[in-house]
């Protein structure tokens, strides 16, 4: 049993968010939880993901407007492999989650910032319960529109999980830690033993070193990066939301903090410092 405490402040009130998490959530499978992966696409033919992707669209810029096209099998479902890897990590933790692929990255893992914004807005409008963002931008012109979109996501009940930049400078939206869940890699192997650093810009740590992931055409790769830490947390959240579907984004973050504190306490008990 995990005790979750905290206070959520709105324009009208400040209220206690005390609740209890029974340990049964750890045996959930993510059933009934929708997960949007905004990335390079998902190879729906991979054995680890076959039958799990309910929709697949591509956001592209045409005549200064962003249009969405359905992505059909045989059209290069994932041009990079990055999105397939991220979806595969989530599926490994929450095998019964329902995936929605929103492709905003093309060859070389590059994409247009406006397509990225539109892809995020598309996910929020569809109220996908979890939105995995293993990507970001350092361009300052996207600071405000991303911030506004994240506020809308929060109000819509969408839990946004974003990877920190692999380079030593901030990227958006991962630095908006008040309105999303930001993640950086650790050498931990067990996704349930994630960490939480309250007060830091990037708060959560999760496995992200030499992670075995699915790859297009039925393959697998061992990958390292913050991109692959992010979906570990998205998978954990899918388990929590199956067990407790009415949790708000704030409560999800509070639950992760409480679980991480338990992880730290258990680690101290298992490896006490020498006196």
Q: Give the chain's end-to-end CA distance (angstroms, integer).
A: 31
Burial degree of 1 (CB within 10 A; 0-12, 13-18, 19+): exposed
Active-site residue (options: 34, 39, 91, 100)? 39
Told to judge if 82 belongs to the known catalytic residues of this protein, a careful annotator would answer yes
Residues 6+ apart with CB under 8 A from 194: 186, 188, 204, 205, 206, 207, 232, 233, 236, 256, 259, 260, 263
Told to judge if 246 belongs to the known catalytic residues of this protein, a careful annotator would answer no
Sign (positive/negative) of CA torsion 151, 200, 208, 167?
Answer: positive
Active-site residue (options: 46, 82, 100, 232)? 82
Residue 234 in contact with residue 88, Cβ under 8 Å?
no
Active-site residue (options: 101, 171, 227, 254)? 227
Told to judge if 39 belongs to the known catalytic residues of this protein, a careful annotator would answer yes
**Residues designated as active site:** 39, 82, 227
């Amino acid at each position: 049993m995990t005790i979750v405490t905290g206070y959520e402040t709105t324009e009208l009130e400040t209220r206690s968010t005390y609740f209890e998490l029974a340990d049964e959530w750890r045996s959930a499978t993510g059933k009934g939880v929708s997960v949007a992966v905004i990335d390079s696409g998902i190879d729906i033919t991979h054995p680890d993901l076959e039958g799990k992707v309910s929709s697949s669209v591509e956001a592209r810029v045409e005549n200064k407007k962003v249009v969405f096209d359905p992505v059909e099998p045989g059209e290069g479902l994932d041009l990079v492999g990055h999105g397939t890897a991220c979806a595969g990590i989530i599926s490994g933790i929450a095998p019964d989650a329902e995936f929605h692929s929103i492709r905003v990255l093309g060859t070389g893992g590059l994409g247009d910032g406006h397509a990225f914004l539109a892809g995020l807005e598309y996910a929020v409008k569809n109220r996908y319960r979890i939105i995995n963002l293993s990507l970001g931008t350092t361009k300052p012109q996207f600071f405000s529109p991303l911030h506004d979109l994240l506020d809308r996501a929060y109000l819509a009940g969408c839990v946004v999980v974003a990877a920190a930049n692999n380079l030593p400078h901030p990227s958006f939206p991962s630095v908006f830690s008040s309105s999303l869940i930001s993640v950086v890699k650790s050498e931990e192997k067990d996704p349930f033993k994630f960490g939480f650093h309250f007060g830091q810009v990037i708060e959560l740590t999760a496995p992200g070193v030499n992670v075995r992931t699915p790859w297009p055409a039925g393959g697998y790769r061992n990958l390292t990066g913050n991109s692959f830490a992010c979906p570990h947390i998205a998978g954990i959240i899918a388990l929590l939301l199956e067990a407790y579907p009415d949790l708000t984004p704030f409560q999800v973050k509070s639950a992760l903090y409480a679980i991480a504190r338990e992880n730290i306490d258990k680690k101290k008990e298992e490896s006490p410092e020498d006196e």
